[in-house]
């Protein structure tokens, strides 16, 4: 049987991690995988997470099964965190999923069940897993223009021109904040135009929100999602707690849908639970319980928000430092976009050859599409990166 399997392509980012590990240079810089690192290069367990785990350890009396949707306090907490009342509760359905990836995978499965003919539109570029899951599920998909490699900003005219071809019932996948891989995001005014277009076309927005709190703040980062959710009849939201709670390996996500009315929301809730049941039955509980514990305890929540702000401001500080350094070295404002981008990533918009040159000459490891993880830097390494960028003639 197993001889019939075909070899699967290796994951580019995991290969990069491996290459970094085996590089003997001591001044190498890892800007690859999307994990937050503090200035010492550590991905810490957040203080509130530790405290919540202790509280759970002390009070939990059973590890029996929960429900197919997962812990209700977690779902309610996530609906509030992401949507904060933007939509009437009875129109919203939600389940716990294994990470944001689990939510995305099941969102696609839900679309396939409901409207198998629909095309899913994804930004060019997008998080590669979007494409690989769509391909794996054999779903129709196409790309819309998103990034302008000259300005390194959103090519909004190009995006709107492409989305003008969306058909009724098609699904348009949007990054709620902190676009991965580019770091370039729509303004709220532009989001409003997108909402109006999707509504006019009868298309369904699907929002992937994996970095809430990493861009402009917890509420600011959810504003676009709330605007979309409030402005359309139907919407799908895939949320991840991996980054903003720093619980990557706990696999904690949520899949939510917004329906036209309560009756359709009930139908959707049943389908979301059915999908959990088919894929893994009960969703992972530990991470969801940590999140629920933090969101429902004023002191833990305040401490989590404070630490998340530290994380966000550390990344913003590195962005400003890098943009300033490049301004100084090049005597131009060509790299000011780095300070304007938001989230963990910026795509500097150069060729795979130059990315390779920076790796070979300066020990800089970034993804071949020139995406760099800002959190892989610290105040000492920013000048080294700036020099490498200039030396490679980016």
**Catalytic residue IDs:** 127, 208, 210, 243
Write down the least CB distance from residue 291 to ligand PMP, Å: 12
> What are 174's strand-pairing partners?
207
Q: Is 101 in the site for ligand PMP (CB under 6 A)?
A: yes
For residues 99 and 86, what is the distance between their CA atoms, to the nearest angstrom? Answer: 24
> What are 141's strand-pairing partners?
120
Q: Which stretch binds ligand PMP (CB under 6 A): 96-104, 106-114, 139-147, 254-262?
A: 96-104
For residues 100 and 84, what is the distance between their CA atoms, to the nearest angstrom? Answer: 19
For residues 11 and 159, what is the distance between their CA atoms, to the nearest angstrom? Answer: 28
Judged by beta carbon, residue 66 or residue 182, the one nearer ligand PMP is 182
Joined tokens for residue 164: 């003008």
Q: Which of 108, 127, 146, 365 binds ligand PMP (CB under 6 A)?
A: 127
Write down the least CB distance from residue 185 to ligand PMP, Å: 12
Q: Which stretch binds ligand PMP (CB under 6 A): 66-74, 150-158, 228-236, 240-248?
A: 240-248
Judged by beta carbon, residue 81 or residue 389, the one nearer ligand PMP is 81
Judged by beta carbon, residue 186 or residue 394, the one nearer ligand PMP is 186
- For 24, residues 6+ apart whose C-beta sits below 8 A from its C-beta are none
Q: Is 240 in the site for ligand PMP (CB under 6 A)?
A: yes
For residues 244 and 300, what is the distance between their CA atoms, to the nearest angstrom? Answer: 14
Q: Which stretch binds ligand PMP (CB under 6 A): 63-71, 98-106, 137-145, 282-290?
A: 98-106
Write down the least CB distance from residue 1 to ligand PMP, Å: 30
Q: Is 242 in the site for ligand PMP (CB under 6 A)?
A: yes
Judged by beta carbon, residue 234 or residue 250, the one nearer ligand PMP is 250
For residues 316 and 333, what is the distance between their CA atoms, to the nearest angstrom? Answer: 18
- Which one, of 212, 214, 215, lies nearest residue 225 by Cα? 212
Judged by beta carbon, residue 51 or residue 104, the one nearer ligand PMP is 104
Write down the least CB distance from residue 181 to ligand PMP, Å: 8
Alpha helices in 63-155 (DSSP H): 72-83, 99-114, 128-136
Q: Is 208 in the site for ligand PMP (CB under 6 A)?
A: yes
- Which one, of 217, 10, 241, lies nearest residue 103 by Cα? 241
For residues 309 and 290, what is the distance between their CA atoms, to the nearest angstrom? Answer: 19
Q: Which of 32, 70, 94, 100 binds ligand PMP (CB under 6 A)?
A: 100
Which strand (E) or helix (H) includes residue 296? none
Q: Is 34 in the site for ligand PMP (CB under 6 A)?
A: yes
For residues 274 and 110, what is the distance between their CA atoms, to the nearest angstrom? Answer: 10
Helix (H, G, I), strand (E, B) or coil at 200: helix
Torsion angles phi and psi, residue 96, rounded to 5: -80, 140
Q: Is 210 in the site for ligand PMP (CB under 6 A)?
A: yes
Q: Which of 77, 99, 231, 349 binds ligand PMP (CB under 6 A)?
A: 99
Q: Which stretch binds ligand PMP (CB under 6 A): 60-68, 94-102, 263-271, 364-372?
A: 94-102
Q: Is 253 in the site for ligand PMP (CB under 6 A)?
A: yes
- Which one, of 150, 148, 170, lies nearest residue 159 by Cα? 148
Torsion angles phi and psi, residue 345, rounded to 5: -120, 155
Q: Is 180 in the site for ligand PMP (CB under 6 A)?
A: yes
Give the binding site for ligand PMP (CB under 6 A): 34, 99-101, 127, 175, 180, 208, 210, 240, 242, 248, 253
């Amino acid at each position: 049987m197993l001889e019939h399997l075909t070899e699967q392509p290796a994951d580019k980012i995991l290969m990069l991690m491996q290459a970094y590990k085996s590089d003997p240079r001591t001044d190498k810089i890892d800007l690859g995988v999307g994990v937050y690192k503090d200035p010492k290069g550590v991905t810490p367990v957040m203080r509130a997470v530790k405290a919540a785990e202790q509280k759970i350890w002390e009070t939990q009396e059973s590890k029996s099964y929960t429900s197919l949707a997962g812990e209700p306090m977690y779902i309610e907490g996530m609906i509030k965190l992401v949507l904060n009342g933007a939509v009437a509760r009875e129109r919203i359905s939600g389940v716990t999923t294994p990470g944001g990836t689990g939510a995305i995978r099941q969102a696609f499965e839900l679309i396939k069940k409901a409207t198998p003919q629909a095309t899913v539109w994804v930004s060019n570029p997008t998080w590669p897993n979007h494409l690989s899951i769509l391909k794996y599920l054999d779903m129709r998909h196409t790309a819309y223009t998103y990034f302008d490699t000259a300005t390194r900003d959103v090519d909004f005219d190009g995006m709107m021109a492409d989305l003008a071809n969306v058909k009724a019932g098609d699904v348009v996948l949007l990054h709620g904040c902190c676009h991965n891989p580019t770091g370039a995001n729509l303004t709220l005014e532009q989001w409003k135009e997108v909402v109006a277009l999707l509504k006019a076309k009868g298309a369904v927005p699907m929002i992937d929100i994996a970095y809430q709190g990493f861009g402009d703040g917890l509420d600011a980062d959810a504003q676009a999602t709330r605007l979309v959710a409030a402005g359309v009849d139907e919407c799908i939201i895939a949320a991840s707690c991996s980054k903003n709670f720093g619980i990557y390996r706990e696999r904690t996500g949520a899949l939510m849908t917004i329906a036209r009315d309560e009756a359709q929301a009930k139908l959707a809730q049943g389908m979301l639970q059915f999908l959990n049941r088919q894929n893994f039955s009960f969703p992972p509980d530990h991470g969801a319980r940590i999140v629920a514990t933090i969101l429902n305890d004023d002191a833990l929540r305040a401490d989590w928000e404070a630490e998340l702000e530290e994380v966000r401001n550390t990344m913003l500080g590195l962005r400003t430092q890098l943009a300033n350094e490049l301004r100084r070295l090049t005597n131009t404002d060509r790299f000011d976009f780095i300070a304007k981008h938001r989230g963990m990533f910026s795509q500097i918009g150069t060729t795979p050859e130059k990315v390779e040159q920076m790796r070979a000459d300066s020990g800089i490891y970034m993804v071949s599409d020139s995406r760099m993880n800002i959190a892989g830097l610290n105040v000492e390494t920013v000048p080294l990166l700036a020099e490498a960028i200039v030396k490679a003639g980016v």
